[in-house]
Amino acid sequence: MSHTGHRDDLLRVEDLTTRFYTEEGQVNAVESVSFDVRDNEILGIVGESGSGKSVTALSAIDLVDSPGEVTGGEVWLRDAELAEEFRGESPDAVDGDFVDLRQLPKGVRRSLRGPKFSMIFQDPMSSFNPSLTVGEQIAEAVEVQRRASANPRSTRSRTQGYGLGKLLFDSVVPGREYTSDESRERAVELLDQVGIPDPVERAEEYPHQFSGGMLQRAMVAQALAGEPDVLFADEPTTALDVTIQAQILDLLRDIQQDRGMSVVLITHDLGVIARMCDRVGVMYAGEIVERGSLEAVFDEPTHPYTQGLLGSIPDVDDPAPRLEPIEGNVPNLIDSEMPDRCYFADRCPKAMESCLEHPEERAVEGEQGHTARCVLADGEYDPERALDESHFEGGDGE
Amino acid sequence: MISPRTLRSLKRGLNRNALAKVGIAIVVVVLLAAIFAPFVAPDRPGTQNLNESRQPPIGFEKASTQEVPVQENGSVVFEDGQIVTENRTVYENATWDHPLGTDGTGRDILSRLIYGARVSLLVGFLGTGLAMFVGVTVGLVAGYYRGKVDDMLMRSADVMLAFPSIVLAIALIGVLDDALEQSIPDPFVVTGVAPAFRSALGLPTGMPESTVLPGTIIVVVALVNWVWFARVARGEALSLREESYVKAARALGANDATIMFRHVLPNAITPILVLGTIQIAAIILLESSLSFLGFSSANISWGFDIALGRKYQSTAWWISAMPGLAIVITVIGLNLVGDWLRDALDPGIEGEGGV
Amino acid sequence: MSLARFLIKRLLQGVFVVWGVITIVFGLRVIAPGDPANVLLPPDVNPEVRQQVVADLGLNEPLYVQYWDFVTGIAAGVPEGLYNIVMGQPVGGLGLGTSLTTGTSVASRVGRSLPATLELAIMATVVAIIIAIPLGVVSATNRHSGPDYGATLFSLAGISTPNFWLGVMLIIVLSVQFNLFPTSQRAIGVPGIFDLLLAGQLEAAGDGFLTWLWYITLPAITLGTYFTALITRLTRSGMLDELGKTYVRASRAKGLPESLVRYKHVLRNTLIPIITVVGLQLGTLVGGAVITEFVFDWPGLGQVLINSINSRDWPMVQGSLIVISVGFVVVNIVVDTLYTLVNPRVGFD
Amino acid sequence: MSFDGETDDEEYDGSLVEVEDLEKYYYENDTLFDRVLGRDPTAVRAVDGVSFEVQEGETLGLVGESGCGKSTTSETLLGLREATGGSVRFKGHDVFRMTGSERKVFRQDAQIVFQDPFSSLDPRMTVGEIVTEGLRIHSLAGGAERTERAKDLLERVGLSARHADRYPHEFSGGQRQRIGIARALALDPEFVVLDEPVSALDVSVQAQVLNLLEDLQEEFGLTYLFVAHDLSVVRHISDRVAVMYLGKIVETGPVDQIFENPQHPYTQALLDSVPRASVDEYGRRGGTLEGDVPSPRNPPPGCRFHTRCPHARDACTKELPPDYDTGERHEAACFRVDEDHEYWESEPLPHATETGEGTSVGGGIADSSD
């Protein structure tokens, strides 16, 4: 399994595929998605609701629970120690310093959450346990790492030396045994680092006593507890007002630069992408349809869907032009109803016969690292061979 | 009223879990038995027949010691003019014309169960219906108008809740006695359809002309349980009035009454119906408890039969056991249907309702 | 302090509910058919004696006066009773009047029978919570497994079984067939643990404990089954509900071990709402106690209530109803306060 | 529809909708028992004295962050919530003191479209019934005619006639908003309140609905009050804009003035925070404002923005700045507009970062973009 990659790649995801087995049928939420995250970089994943961008992140760090399941693909992480540890046991899971996490046991993948990966979510209010103080929950994240580094073997034990009986007792009487004093002090430090005023008092308060912005900062603090290499941020500012959003984006920028950490920023807001990201992946119907540097994707959008997206956003500095929306609706990803043509063909103004077979990811001419899953990447639009509207009339479109 | 989406989620819920199918099967069987009692019951529920008393159900035999004349090589032994007898345990086994055995006075238990189902289901459905009507009206008004109206209505509901339902029921029955007792003629028997059917099959005819319906219990049960409906209806009204389509209707100029009956009630019906099924089950338990304590005026009812059977607890356990099983199976059926409705339609009302 | 204000507010609501209870109880007697005095008088008594008795009972006064005396009697009696208890003197009449059939004061008769009911109710609750919570948790955490199906079926049967029938069958099977347990009434000789504890004779309570336990097992199972089944169902569905929430996914994202997520986070948030439902369902428990006492001839307040209804002994009926309901209101206030204490989201204001 | 039965377009002076000092307070803990405990109910002042007008055929954008009271304003304006104070005049008639028949006419002339596509349509009614409910309430059209009307309303908003007997759950978010718009058009109103109509939609669907709203305005000569928090959407669709903060309007004016030459520091901060979808946005820091929006239960004294304003000074905490006129119907409630106000002499507050240079600071942002 050798493949070309940028020399300072940290995480390479290849053909990641996730299925949800619901009553309505099998939903193909993520369809052989590939992307890579480099050191000290912010990678943007943009897409509308239902495009599978959140599920992609959850799949990468193994947080998809039933009825969802990651059914295919590899997640290569550059980690020399881990590679060393598993080179003997499962040789084909190791390639140089990279290890395919999908082939490692579940306990190992869980132990990576914290020190290697962490994640922040869209709605801070529902991402904290309402009946525990914020300080306690952050101290927990610190404690997990403290116990893990104390004895690596036990990271994969079920209760990490914190007996079930104690847990049951603790669930009734809100004791603090699990978190030690050091981790509570560290939690206050983290609250301070993310710019929360008088952190000592705020640590003793409950989530409902925080404003949206403050609680999002607390969530960032919690995510930094394990000094992660890659921070996944799933729509971190969507639920916030624009002035608070600006504060949080600045915070993420500062933290990423101070700690040289990589961030995967998932959002539907192209403005946020433009302000924060070095490289971008555009997702539609469970697939990455275009991938490249910010300049490449914003200035020379190749895939018609990316062009459509950029065309349908009102510009705060220039009200004049009428918007050119993308007609039709997003497909519902139910496997039985998904055609094997390009998923965007029925809405694409430049659909041609060649779009009837499923397009591969192609490099865009003259653009290193800029790819698109469309024939136009390295081909010309030929009006004679265009498909007219009637071709897709069968569907229940507009 | 029921939108296709509700039907679809009901169907999907049905074929997804087997328990729902079992529940519906039980409820249907019990309902049919209750409705067509005169055709289905093997014997007249009320007629006593002392020499067949305390017969065991199929598959069991009853040991009883009896005076039996001593016999030597075929002939009875006499001793100074008296037949010599001795006590020997005689095993009477069940017969098919009393599949579930007979009670203390020889009445067929299965027929009494079938007729008993009528009383229980009638009290269950009518009681729930009455409680639903009162409770939903009160709850909707309280939830929709909020403020003082809500405070006042809900405080009075709290007072009702202060009495455990069985305690309040007993007190009310003590007061009302059986002023509202009705006896409803049985259409099948009166029109002669049932007797003709039975005589054709050679089954004993002369089924009861009418069923005694404990009107008092229905009113009492409704008085006790309307509070649960009020609470659910109030909760629904409180949340539904904030929905945009209610505000849109107001913006279109609809008045309160139209909004309540065209928008709030239809959307509140689902959780109310789910609570309804659970309440029918709870009310059947309550009715059988009341008749067990001797507070029901119905002449045939499961609870009362269980009380009657207590005298024979050491000799004929089945007299009390069988009606109890009938209650448990019926209530399990109703609860399963309630769970199915709740899971398919509205998982919101866990923990409401109770005996 | 907002806790004090919350308590005052709840107590005020409680007083309002108690006033409502008293009014309903009084109303019950008024609409009852027949003349309440007949209980004392043989049908052929001559009119003057009837006049005299009616006057003594104050039944000749206009209704609102009777009502006023009744309410003020209780309003004065209860605080006075509390004061006596604090001072260790006999409790006194609490304004509940005297029993028509026995002539003794209603309060003392109710007071004597209350501990037996409390024993039953508390034993049933303890049994329920010890069995139901773990069962609910186990069945929620390993779904579609043996224990899950077992717990579901048990809880379904539990809430569908009328407790009087369960009691009767337990007697038939365990007492009559296998005579493991006493068939009925708590023998006079058997010490009421509660009475002894209340009276402070710890040592007597100690050695009488085993026989008491032997007698109370069947009634406690009869009363506790419905409650256990209900709490199992609530714990299971509450747990499943919480497990689907975002903060669980966020906790796992932190790398927390699954058992910590499940017990420290999820179980705690599952138990909080169950407290209120338990409070609400206590009514069913007390109701069940009345029936269980009837089945097992257990000398509790339920027995007193049923007998006094059958014998039309109105003061006793009124007294027992009021004590049961007021007790229920007090328990609900305690449960509400507990809920607010445990649940940081709900402040006291 | 005319109010008092005369000709259709009877004269009224002033603009179609005039809002004067509108107030809407919510009272907490004022149940029976709180009164008994002698606790006075605390007032949440969601809308605290708001005044603006909407000219006929115009689109007024009402913009502000969550909790500023813009949605409450729009609903109180239509009488869907009971106003605590102030007045609203529609075609010269006071909305809060209307007789039964006047109210009936007002309901036909003024309509509303809501934000959340999933709660704005009654799940129990078919789309045809939803769209023509107004006709049924005002008994304007009978059975067949009403179904006909339903069909062409659906066609007009870009759906097809055969959708009439479907149920809301069978439609996407964008389609549901179209149905909500069709419902609002059924009584052919003159004034439509659009309460964040596209905020819940994806970008591509948002553009479809915005184009539809613009076409309908042209075709039916509609007047819009467009409530939103997304500044680029507001700029695209509005003719005039009012910016709200914590229950009050801080700046009003023609759209180009507000976006090119913002006078109030809050408007400037808002414009500065918005991330632009273009490459030269990369790396720009937008977080000029500190802290969180204060709670409307006890708003800060004087100018409510002083706790977060980068130019805040002592004077700002003393009294509420009036609406200074800054040219062609452009007003801003900030002392900085008035050169000789004693604001310039008073001490900057501790959190104020920028020193006060020049009168209007707005120009900087706008002209940097090409």
- Taking only the tens place, the pLDDT of each residue in A254-266 is 999 999 999 999 9
A16, part of any domain: no
Statement to judge: residues C217 and C308 lie in one domain: yes
Cβ–Cβ below 8 Å for B5 and D167: yes
- Going by pLDDT thresholds of 50, 70 and 90, the confidence category of residue D8 is very low
Q: Is D101 on the interface with B (CB under 8 A)?
A: no
- Going by pLDDT thresholds of 50, 70 and 90, the confidence category of residue D365 is very low
Which of A242, A269, A330 is facing D273, going by the closest CB pair?
A: A242
- pLDDT tens, position by position, A231-240: 999 999 998 9
- Going by pLDDT thresholds of 50, 70 and 90, the confidence category of residue A175 is low
Tokens at C148, concatenated: 């899950």
What are phi and psi for residue A128, nearest 5 degrees?
-115, 150
- Going by pLDDT thresholds of 50, 70 and 90, the confidence category of residue D357 is very low
Cα R_g (chain C), whole angstroms:
24
Q: Is A299 on the interface with D (CB under 8 A)?
A: yes
- pLDDT tens, position by position, B34-77: 888 888 888 787 777 777 777 778 777 766 666 777 777 767 77
- Going by pLDDT thresholds of 50, 70 and 90, the confidence category of residue A174 is low
Statement to judge: residues C154 and C303 lie in one domain: yes
Statement to judge: residues C225 and C269 lie in one domain: yes
Percent of chain A at pLDDT > 90 equals 44
| Å between B339 CA and nearest CA of chain C | 10
Residue-by-residue DSSP string for B218-254:
HHHHHHHHHHHHHHHHHHHHHHHTTSHHHHHHHHTT-
Which of A48, A249, A276 is facing D202, going by the closest CB pair?
A: A48
β strands within A23-169, DSSP E: 25-38, 42-47, 68-78, 94-95, 98-100, 117-120
Residue-by-residue DSSP string for B184-213:
EE-HHHHTTHHHHHHHHHT------SEEEE
Which of B244, B258, B266 is facing D124, going by the closest CB pair?
A: B266
Q: Name subunits touching B (3+ CB pairs < 8 A).
A: C, D
Residue C22 to residue D329: CA distance in whole angstroms: 68
CB A345 within 8 A of CB A358: no
Contacts of A375 (CB under 8 A, 6+ apart): A352, A354, A355, A359, A362
Cβ–Cβ below 8 Å for C172 and B313: yes
Which of D29, D33, D36 is facing C349, going by the closest CB pair?
A: D29
Among A54, A113, A131, A224, the strongest candidate for a mutation testing the C interface, having the largest count of C CBs within 10 A, is: A131
pLDDT for A74? 92
Supply the CATH number for residue C120's domain.
1.10.3720.10
CA torsion sign for D189, D192, D198, D203 is positive
Percent of chain B at pLDDT > 70 equals 91
Cβ–Cβ below 8 Å for C259 and A148: no
Statement to judge: residues C156 and C300 lie in one domain: yes
A368, part of any domain: no
C56, part of any domain: yes
pLDDT for C185? 58
Cβ–Cβ below 8 Å for B163 and C324: yes
CB B108 within 8 A of CB B42: yes
Residue corresponding to tokens 């039309």: C312
Locate the chain B residue with the closest alpha carbon to D170: B5
CB neighbours (10 Å) of residue D261?
A: 19
CA torsion sign for C317, C323, C326, C332 is negative
CA-closest candidate to residue C242, choices C136, C87, C164: C136
Locate the chain A residue with the closest alpha carbon to C341: A131
Q: Is B355's pLDDT higher than 50?
A: no
Helix (H, G, I), strand (E, B) or coil at D193: strand
Question: In chain A, how many domains are there?
Answer: 1
Which of D32, D104, D183 is facing B248, going by the closest CB pair?
A: D183
CA torsion sign for C253, C259, C264, C265 is positive
CB B310 within 8 A of CB C168: yes
- 3-state SS track over chain C: CHHHHHHHHHHHHHHHHHHHHHHHHHHHHHHCCCCHHHHCCCCCCCHHHHHHHHHHHCCCCCHHHHHHHHHHHHHHHHHHHHHHHHHCCCCCCCCCCECCCCCCEHHHHHHHHHHHHHHHHHHHHHHHHHHHHHHHHHHHHCCCCHHHHHHHHHHHHHHHCCHHHHHHHHHHHHHHHCCCCCCCCCCCCCCCHHHHHHHCCHHHHHHHHHHHHHHHHHHHHHHHHHHHHHHHHHHHHHHHHHHCCHHHHHHHHCCCCHHHHHHHHHHHHHHHHHHHHHHHHHHHHHHHHHHHHHHHCCCCHHHHHHHHHHCCCHHHHHHHHHHHHHHHHHHHHHHHHHHHHHCCCCCCC
Residue B104 to residue B308: CA distance in whole angstroms: 8
C92, part of any domain: no
Cβ–Cβ below 8 Å for B251 and D124: no
- pLDDT tens, position by position, D120-146: 999 889 999 999 999 999 888 888 888
- Going by pLDDT thresholds of 50, 70 and 90, the confidence category of residue D236 is very high
**CA B24 distance to own-chain centroid:** 15
pLDDT for A152? 60
| Å between D108 CA and nearest CA of chain B | 7
C102, part of any domain: no
Cβ–Cβ below 8 Å for B306 and C306: no
Locate the chain A residue with the closest alpha carbon to D267: A243
Residue D122 to residue B76: CA distance in whole angstroms: 88
Cβ–Cβ below 8 Å for B247 and D180: no
pLDDT for B226? 92
C34, part of any domain: yes
Which of C24, C157, C165 is facing B324, going by the closest CB pair?
A: C165
Cβ–Cβ below 8 Å for A168 and C263: yes
Q: Name subunits touching A (3+ CB pairs < 8 A).
A: C, D
Statement to judge: residues C135 and C279 lie in one domain: yes
Q: Is D18's pLDDT higher than 90?
A: yes
CB A325 within 8 A of CB D211: yes
Cβ–Cβ below 8 Å for C20 and B170: no
Statement to judge: residues C158 and C65 lie in one domain: no
pLDDT for B348? 57
Q: Is D328 exposed, middle or buried (0-12, 13-18, 19+ CB in 10 A)?
A: exposed
CB A234 within 8 A of CB A54: yes
Residue corresponding to tokens 């659909």: A351
Residue B351 to residue B353: CA distance in whole angstroms: 7
CA-closest candidate to residue A288, choices A363, A361, A376: A361
- Going by pLDDT thresholds of 50, 70 and 90, the confidence category of residue D362 is very low
CB B283 within 8 A of CB B128: yes
CA-closest candidate to residue D71, choices D200, D201, D263, D162: D200
Locate the chain C residue with the closest alpha carbon to A137: C251
C 254-293 → B contacts, CB under 8 A: 277, 280-281, 283-288, 290-291
Q: What counts of helices (H) and strands (E) characterise chain D?
A: 13, 12
Locate the chain C residue with the closest alpha carbon to B309: C168
Q: Is A395's pLDDT higher than 50?
A: no
A328, part of any domain: no
ipTM computed for the complex: 0.83
Q: Name subunits touching C (3+ CB pairs < 8 A).
A: A, B, D
Cβ–Cβ below 8 Å for A172 and C271: yes
pTM over 0.90: no
Q: Is A13's pLDDT higher than 50?
A: yes
CA-closest candidate to residue C9, choices B14, A308, D38, A59: D38
A59, part of any domain: no
- Average pLDDT, whole number, for chain B? 83
A338, part of any domain: no
- pLDDT tens, position by position, A309-338: 998 888 888 876 688 888 888 888 888 888
Cβ–Cβ below 8 Å for D37 and C9: yes
Tokens at A295, concatenated: 């300049």
Residue A38 to residue A174: CA distance in whole angstroms: 42
Statement to judge: residues C118 and C201 lie in one domain: yes
C327, part of any domain: yes
Q: Per-residue pLDDT for chain C (349 aa), expressed as one digit of tens each? A: 577 878 888 888 888 888 888 888 888 877 777 666 676 677 777 778 777 777 777 777 778 888 888 888 888 877 787 777 777 777 766 777 777 777 778 888 888 888 888 888 888 888 888 899 899 988 988 888 888 889 989 999 999 999 999 998 888 888 877 777 776 655 555 556 666 666 666 676 666 777 778 888 888 899 999 989 999 999 998 998 899 899 999 998 888 888 888 888 888 888 888 888 887 777 778 888 888 888 888 888 888 888 888 887 888 888 888 888 888 888 888 888 888 887 777 655 4
- pLDDT tens, position by position, A272-301: 999 999 999 999 999 999 999 999 999 989
pLDDT for A214? 92
Stretch (H or E) spanning D236: helix D231-237
C224, part of any domain: yes
Q: Give the residue with greater pLDDT, A182 vs C83.
A: A182
Residue corresponding to tokens 């006078």: D263
Statement to judge: residues C218 and C336 lie in one domain: yes
Q: Is A63's pLDDT higher than 70?
A: yes
Q: Across the B/C interface, how many CB contacts are shorter than 8 Å? A: 160
Flag the least confident range among A29-38, B111-120, C174-183, D268-277: C174-183
Which of B289, B314, B328 is facing C176, going by the closest CB pair?
A: B314
Tokens at A224, concatenated: 């930094």
C64, part of any domain: yes
CB A231 within 8 A of CB A223: yes
Give residue C244's domain range. Answer: 114-342
- pLDDT tens, position by position, D107-119: 999 999 999 998 9
Flag the least confident range among A183-197, C149-163, C200-214, D248-262: C200-214
- Chain A residue numbers with beta carbons less than 8 Å from the beta carbon of C241 are none
Average pLDDT estimate for A192-213: 91
pLDDT for D31? 65
Statement to judge: residues C280 and C168 lie in one domain: yes
Which of B19, B161, B306 is facing C165, going by the closest CB pair?
A: B306
Which of B151, B251, B254 is facing D112, going by the closest CB pair?
A: B251
DSSP letter (8 states) at residue B260: I
Statement to judge: residues C42 and C127 lie in one domain: no
Which of D32, D122, D138 is facing B245, going by the closest CB pair?
A: D122
Packing angle between helix C163-170 and helix B302-309, nearest 10 degrees?
20
C133, part of any domain: yes
Cβ burial D235-245 (10 Å sphere, 16+ → b, else e): bbbbbbbbbbb
Q: Is A57's pLDDT higher than 90?
A: yes
CA-closest candidate to residue D275, choices A110, A298, B120: A298
- Chain D residue numbers with beta carbons less than 8 Å from the beta carbon of A242 are 65, 229, 231, 270, 273-274
What are phi and psi for residue A117, nearest 5 degrees?
-120, 150
- Chain B residue numbers with beta carbons less than 8 Å from the beta carbon of C161 are 324, 327-328, 331
| Å between A163 CA and nearest CA of chain C | 9
Question: In chain C, how many domains are there?
Answer: 2
Residue-by-residue DSSP string for B109-164:
HHHHHHHHHHHHHHHHHHHHHHHHHHHHHHHHHHHHH-HHHHHHHHHHHHHHHHS-
Q: Is D204's pLDDT higher than 60?
A: yes
- Chain C residue numbers with beta carbons less than 8 Å from the beta carbon of B347 are 237
Q: Is D119 on the interface with B (CB under 8 A)?
A: yes
Statement to judge: residues C133 and C181 lie in one domain: yes
Contacts of D32 (CB under 8 A, 6+ apart): B148, B151
DSSP letter (8 states) at residue B264: I
**CA B289 distance to own-chain centroid:** 11
CB D227 within 8 A of CB D194: yes
Residue C260 to residue A129: CA distance in whole angstroms: 13
Give residue A193's domain range. Answer: 130-222
Residue corresponding to tokens 């579940």: A106
CA-closest candidate to residue D150, choices D139, D140, D158, D161: D161
Question: Is the bond preceding A105 in cis, omega lying within 30 degrees of 0?
Answer: no
Statement to judge: residues C122 and C69 lie in one domain: no
| Å between D29 CA and nearest CA of chain C | 8
Cβ–Cβ below 8 Å for B244 and D133: no
- Write D1-7 long-range contacts (CB < 8 A, 24+): D1/D105, D1/D108, D1/D109, D2/D105, D3/D91, D3/D93, D3/D102, D3/D105
CA-closest candidate to residue C283, choices C4, C8, C17: C17
| Å between C267 CA and nearest CA of chain A | 6
Pick from A35-49, A340-354, B144-158, D6-20 the range whose average pLDDT is largest: A35-49
**CA A368 distance to own-chain centroid:** 24
- Chain D residue numbers with beta carbons less than 8 Å from the beta carbon of B247 are 75, 80, 112, 114
